[in-house]
Chain A
Amino acid sequence: MSVSFPFSAIAGQGEMKLAILISAVDPALGGVLVFGDRGTGKSTAVRALAALLPAMRAVEGCRFGCDPAAIAAACEDCRKRRGQGPLKWRRIPVPVVDLPLGATEDRVVGALDLERALTNGVKAFEPGLLARANRGFLYIDEVNLLEDHLVDLLIDVAASGENVVEREGLSVRHPARFVLIGSGNPEEGELRPQLLDRFGLSVEVKTPQDIKTRIEVVRRRDHFDRDPAGFAAKWRGEDRKISKQVALGQKRLASIEIPDGVLETAARLCTILGVDGLRGELTMMRAARALASLEGDEVVTGQHLRKIAAPALRHRLRRNPLDESGSTVRIERAVAEVFGE
């Protein structure tokens, strides 16, 4: 893996890019599901994300990249070491881990270390992809093709933030808090509602119809294919700008204010749309806050809410078999109603 396509060079697809950046600003939001047409740069955008993320602090020598500042959420080992004195840390890049199709369960959850087991006869735990993704991102391309038993596993871990391994005589638990990013083509099949629910935001991508954008997409991709390094260098400045924006957004997040009026509006929107449970409102609030933070605003406004209403609620609507319009249209209608247009 040499150079990946720069994030800033992705033409169009504003909603997808925004959703990914918002989830980077607030990892607690629960990730992004990107569903849509073929060849729209879904996986390109996610794979480009790694280059944008500001480095994070991690405990030196910890296999799970525990945060030295949040010891309560750290792994057993780190907590034990913390009791003996201050922990050493270093800066590491935020992991963006690809969960490839065809991965076996043992590599996802972790398993007995084969090498050491065979050569020394030692029972040791070898962390899997979930451990590697801790505090970072876990990306599943073609998420609707993922094997059922892996889906079950992910649903469980994503909800609890902890990976419990009970296999091959091992009994291990370690933190596994990651932002789940999935992409896929709806024609390959639908997602289980339980998995759908784990994603904070859901984005629909469509092939751009406007000929100028289409030409630009092809031109940039062609340029990149022929000269990856040169192309990446050309966009480095733009990428850096976005990277800074994300870093600032993360820093400001805690101090963003949400007025009661905005909360009320969010609740009204959810009621009109008949969204089940509180998750919808909660996600909307968080996403609006992350958006405000990303855009450098100090107070969340109705405008922020409007912008994130569709990605936050789209996958939470109950399907009505006799309603011809899609979720997006229904949300737009509700937004228009709430904001009085």
Chain B
Amino acid sequence: MNEPQDGIACSACWDDALLAAALFAVDPAGAAGIVLRCRAGPARDLWLQALRGLLPDPTPLRRIPINIADSRLLGGLDLTASLRAGKPVADRGVLVESNGGVVYLSMTERMSAAVAGRIANVLDTGIVAMERDGLTLRSDVRLGIVALDEGIEENERCPDALSDRLAFLVDLSGDLTVASGPPAYDACAVAAARRLLPKVALGDEALHALCVGASALGVASLRAPLLAVRAARASAALRGRNEVVEEDVVVAARLVLAPRAMALPSSEREAPDASPPEAPQAEESEGAKQESFQDDDREIHADASLDEIVLEAAAAAIPAGLLTQLQLAGEAAIRTKATGKSGALKGSGLRGRPAGARCGKPGGAVRLNLVETLRAAAPWQKMRRMDGGREIETTTARRIIIRPEDFRVTRYKQRTETLTIFAVDASGSSALNRLAEAKGAVELLLADCYVRRDQVAVLAFRGAGPTLLLAPTRSLARAKRSLAGLPGGGGTPLAGGIDAALKLAEDARRKGQTPIIVLLTDGAANIARDGRPGRAKAQDDALGSARFARSRGFTMLLVDTAPRPQPFAQRLAADMKARYLALPSADPVVLSGAVRSAAAR
């Protein structure tokens, strides 16, 4: 979605971004929010300024930093106020303080699932439920969210838990022509629209069109059509109408549905949920769609049903290079699944990010968190002085009495370690060559994995089946020793090799590691899973294993080692959703670089 486009499309992008801002301003709580994908820069500043101009005056605007602690996000015990008052005083937290307003979330592409989950919960229930520090507080909260997403890579984005709930996904990361003319709407128009909004009616046809549109675009979540319905209402209100008309539905489809599209309605790649029979097949060329986007939709399609118009409007708003991007996005989605486990962060002594505090004794690898300890001790001071006896009264009258149970230690979290599994085709004559490459790459990876605390394993498959040459290790010495005498030659039991790599990966995942599979082969499978020779069956089995590999969602890299790129190897990579790399005369440096970049994604 960040392909640079021609100037006209870009100014249309900018207009849409502003329109999204206006619709959001009309109904912040209904639309729930906007994901603004754009790196910090003039375009973003301009857009934020425009949004501020659209919001009615006393709207609270708060910015929430990425590292916000639960005590500020949801509220908690206000330490200083509690000490002063001599009784517990609650700090209400940023979300409650922003009630009725708009919250900016910084750098959501780096946001943890935990914080996203908390905010999503508040959006769902309209309540901030605080059960913290001995305090219980429930506050009704209605707010709109602007999630700033500075991601560059395709899978570096605002958490799905959040973007699924926010109506508008605005992407300003391409080259933009930022129109500096007078804004189409102002705060007055927004205020008028807000008054009108509760009265805006939405007919069955519009509802139908938006639902069908979402399905045909492969948008699975039901929140999308619901948010589109709200956006259509806001659009009608903004234009001073008390009824949703076609134009509003088109706007909603373009701004809410199109950015979530997972499939083109007319494309041969079926939407994941096969488009329903009612869904119209928009059989038009890409160019025609682009045109219809520029012109007034209504004039061209006077006879078309609303469903079709919605689809076309949405399709037109999907950038041309979508299909390739869909693949990337699909890959990203699967990878997210794979790294779902890496969301489960490992607690470790001192490394990683601080992740709150817990009760515990300091010492050894555990560090005392002074502020949290004081916070824990503060409320009890008066009581401790009472039962603590006279000697405390006299000697430490002005000091804070801290007991062992007050000790809080800082918890740290660290990403789980990565296990890179090399599955090397050791068959035939070129085996020695390939194994040498793998060996070189393993050594290079191990050299820097001491820093990254990652592990490497090597599997070779030839003849009857796979052999584990190097069990998962971090030790360079061990690797060198076991890789020294590598046997080669024989047939290619590709399916068996993939299966063995998967098993190893599965074990690693169960141990909390993040596995990466690197398959080095020329794809010339000729031994089936059951160990019998035969090319057709062997290839079939290999594809079966590949598809299963894909379902497990591991990060995978297929390195084609044949002198010329092989179609079967490519097909195998596609079926595995693996990254394909043709490396006929690879040297270990290139290979280890490729693996490292696969791991980094």
Contact = CB atoms under 8 A, between A and B. Distances in A.
B136 A214 contact: no
Contacts of A108: 131
Nearest to A41: B222
A102 B276 contact: no
Nearest to A107: B131
A118 B336 contact: no
B57 interface: no
Interface string A156-175: 00000000000111000000
A30 to B, nearest CB: 24
Given A100-B129, A222-B207, A322-B503, A38 B161 contact: yes
Contact of B551 (A37, A102, A324): A324
Interface stretch (B12-20, B338-346, B427-435): B338-346
Given A104-B131, A104-B132, A218-B229, A211 B212 contact: yes
A123 B386 CA distance: 12
Residues of B contacting A: mostly: helix
Given A207-B221, A211-B212, A219 B548 contact: no
B340 A190 contact: yes
How many A residues touch the partner, as a band? 35 or more
Nearest to A185: B161
Contacts of A99: 131
A118 B499 CA distance: 63
Given A189-B344, A324-B551, A145 B221 contact: no
B391 interface: no
17 contacts: A37-B221, A40-B222, A41-B222, A99-B131, A102-B70, A115-B88, A121-B382, A121-B387, A188-B161, A207-B221, A209-B215, A209-B273, A218-B229, A221-B226, A222-B230, A225-B30, A321-B552
Nearest to A188: B113
Contact of B113 (A114, A169, A189, A321): A189
B376 to A, nearest CB: 9
B502 A322 contact: yes
Interface in B125-174: 125, 127, 129-136, 138, 140, 160-161, 164
Interface stretch (B114-122, B449-457, B563-571): B114-122
B49 to A, nearest CB: 31
Given A190-B340, A322-B503, 16 more contacts: A41-B222, A102-B70, A102-B131, A105-B359, A106-B133, A107-B132, A107-B133, A111-B134, A114-B379, A119-B87, A142-B121, A169-B405, A214-B214, A215-B208, A222-B226, A222-B229
B340 A187 contact: yes
Contacts of B30: 225
Contacts of A229: none
Interface in A185-223: 185-190, 207-211, 214-215, 217-219, 221-222
A188 B211 contact: no
A1 B138 contact: yes
Interface string B394-431: 00000000000100000000000000000000000000
B87 A322 contact: no
Contact of A121 (B117, B336, B347, B383): B383
Chain B contact-residue range equals: 35 or more
B556 interface: no
B110 interface: no
Closest 7 CB pairs of A and B: A107-B131, A103-B131, A321-B506, A39-B223, A100-B129, A39-B221, A211-B276
A114 B135 contact: yes
A86 B228 CA distance: 59
A260 interface: no
Interface string B548-585: 10011000000000000000000000000000000000
A230 to B, nearest CB: 13
Most buried by B among A99, A102, A118: A102
A43 interface: yes
B133 A104 contact: yes
A319 B279 CA distance: 38
A117 interface: yes
Nearest to B337: A187
B85 to A, nearest CB: 9
B87 A115 contact: yes
